[in-house]
Amino acid sequence: MIRRMLEAHGFQVERAASGEAALDLLNARLPDMIIADFHLPGMSGGELSRQLRLNSRTRSIPLLMLTEAAEVETEREGLESGADAYISKAADPDFLILRIRALLRERPAMQEEPGDEMPHFRRLRFLVLDDDPAGLADHSATLLREGYLVEAASDVEGALAALGNADLTVDCVLIGLPPRRFDSVDACRVLNARREEERAQQAERSTAPFLMIGIERDGAVSKEKLARAFDAGLDEFIPTLNDHLLLRVRLRAIVRRKMMQDEMAQADADRRDRAITVERARMTEALTQANAELGAANDKLIETQAKLVQAAKMASLGELVAGIAHEINNPLAFILAHQATVQRVLGQIGSQDVTTEKARGYIAKAQDRATAMGAGLKRIRDLVLNLRQFSRLDEGGFQSVDIFEAIDTVLTLLRPKLGDRIHVGRHYDAPPTLWCSPALLNQVVMNIVSNAADAIEGEGRIDITVTLDGPDYVILIEDSGPGVPEAVEARIFEPFFTTKPIGSGTGLGLAIAYSVVKAHQGAITIGRSPFGGASFKIAVPLMDETGQPLPQASAMGAAGLTEAPRQPIAGA
């Protein structure tokens, strides 16, 4: 009747036929309010109220107790057990609804933690150890009526078997005293030893160890034997009681203490879990920091390795140029001197009278060959000079560099790779000089132009534009190749990363270029060129001879700018 009335007023209702069933329902979901009859089969409404108030998760749930109108003493007992309000079953339904709504308004806000699968309420389990069948049945029935779970054993071996069952958690052992077929002191000692084993094995358990309660039978327990039983591990003793109500009250007091111990053990376990969580978070943070430091050290190592490779390459280039200067320049000067002598002698012979037409033909042909030889020897001399200008081995550190001349030198060195298939356009829209490291800047431009030439299949185009962008001196290199895929743009400047086929590249060219530009406090970025290929933008700050940024870089560039004619060079 009450359920139908509540549902008619918009409440969702779950019904339990007993206090024990209600406790089981509380393990699934906590309600906003509990309405209980005081007179329940088995566990009474008062005991249900006490157990709810002993549990930290259910003690704040409003509890409305129902009883008959004339049961004043029952109302007092119910309120003392923890009920929030008492109302007669015969009360006006509208008054009952008003009382329910008032209790719900007073309820403190509760928020269950998501994913919390722990039972909200645990029914305590008793193990009754008694070799008297009548006493065993009587004690078991009393405990069942109080809403406890009960296991029974008639000897110590049976009790140990029940305690060893992993599916059962025994909270209290009730021992009938004195037993007839075993010694109570020995029984207490054996059970206490088992309890100590469990305590040692589960140092971080969330429940307190079971209590051992001795209940006297027929007043036959001597003080001396009782003292020995307490010494052997007995926790509580209940003397002979003919009043079952008093026995139940004493058991409730003992159980209340056990539940408080469990709650403290659970709180300790929660504190340990929180401490472990905090420690794990600290260790995770430390590990993350260590990984970051390791990654930074690894990046530094890769950067250092790239610089070492760069230094080795520059050293090798220095040795090569020194060798060329020593091995080629001397014989080249000798050949040029003799070539000039031969050409001068041929000119002298040709100016004299030559008797035969055939001789005059030979002399003219020799003069043409000598002239061609001179042009070839001069090209060799220019090549050696360009190598020296590129490496600048005799010029260290930062200095004022003619950028236009440096780019022309690079293109001259790359002439065999560019050939006639690649059209190179040069657009110089900035002052020609820049304070920088000449050898390193040459290497940046050469690596990018060389990569562009390798990427272009067949005929193509490369444009080199030099401009000013605010305080930066910008060199823009654009090509008509396939471009750099977006998937690898983030890794294009990593050392040893290359998009060329295996064996065709070391993966260090752009990494070195990146390091060089960073050493100039500049930036190098990659994009898409208007010709469909890749676009590399090199921006370095304009600085004076002390390494300080020029405050009026833009004004200086605008004032001193003389635009060079745009020079598309086929084959560079």
* pLDDT in the model for residue 204: 55
More confident: 497 or 34? 34
> Encoding tokens for residue 490?
């983030």
Q: What is the CA radius of gyration of the chain?
A: 50
* pLDDT in the model for residue 290: 92
pLDDT at 567 over 70: no
Letter string b/e over residues 118-150, b meaning 16 or more CB atoms within 10 A of that residue's CB: eebbbbbbbbbbbbbeebbebbbebbebbbbbb
* pLDDT in the model for residue 115: 47
Lowest mean pLDDT segment, chosen from 69-78, 186-195, 562-571: 562-571
* Dist CA 513 CA 172 (whole Å): 78
In 480-563 the beta strands, taken as DSSP E runs, fall at 523-528, 534-541
Q: Is the Cβ–Cβ distance between 164 and 193 less than 8 Å?
A: no
pLDDT at 51 over 60: yes
More confident: 552 or 488? 488
> Encoding tokens for residue 139?
């004690």
In 20-137 the beta strands, taken as DSSP E runs, fall at 34-37, 63-67, 85-88, 125-129
Which amino acid appears at position 105 of this protein? R
Its pTM surpasses 0.75: no
* pLDDT in the model for residue 463: 92
- Quickly count: other Cβ atoms within 10 Å of residue 243's Cβ: 8
**Most confidently predicted of 102-111, 366-375, 450-459:** 450-459
* pLDDT in the model for residue 152: 92
pLDDT at 6 over 80: yes
**Most confidently predicted of 93-97, 270-274, 304-308:** 93-97
* pLDDT in the model for residue 570: 37
* pLDDT in the model for residue 173: 92
pLDDT at 571 over 50: no
More confident: 184 or 116? 184
pLDDT at 554 over 50: no
* Dist CA 336 CA 64 (whole Å): 119
* pLDDT in the model for residue 71: 62
Q: Is the Cβ–Cβ distance between 440 and 477 less than 8 Å?
A: no
* pLDDT in the model for residue 121: 63
Q: Is the Cβ–Cβ distance between 78 and 68 less than 8 Å?
A: no
pLDDT at 553 over 50: no
pLDDT band of 13, cuts 50, 70, 90: very high
Q: What is the mean pLDDT of the chain?
A: 78
Letter string b/e over residues 450-480, b meaning 16 or more CB atoms within 10 A of that residue's CB: bbbbebbeeebbbbbbbbbeebbbbbbbbbb
More confident: 325 or 157? 157
pLDDT at 462 over 80: yes
Cβ neighbors of 267 (< 8 A, separation 6 or more) are: none
* pLDDT in the model for residue 188: 92
* Dist CA 465 CA 509 (whole Å): 21
pLDDT at 130 over 70: yes
Cβ neighbors of 163 (< 8 A, separation 6 or more) are: 127, 170, 173, 191, 194, 198, 210
| Digit-coded pLDDT (tens) for 183-234 | 888 999 999 999 888 877 765 556 778 889 888 877 778 888 889 999 999 9
The strands making up 125-129's β-sheet, listed across from edge to edge, are: 149-153, 125-129, 172-177, 211-216, 236-238
The strands making up 567-570's β-sheet, listed across from edge to edge, are: 523-528, 534-541, 472-479, 460-469, 422-428, 567-570
* pLDDT in the model for residue 345: 79
Among 51, 83, 50, which Cα is nearest to 67's? 83
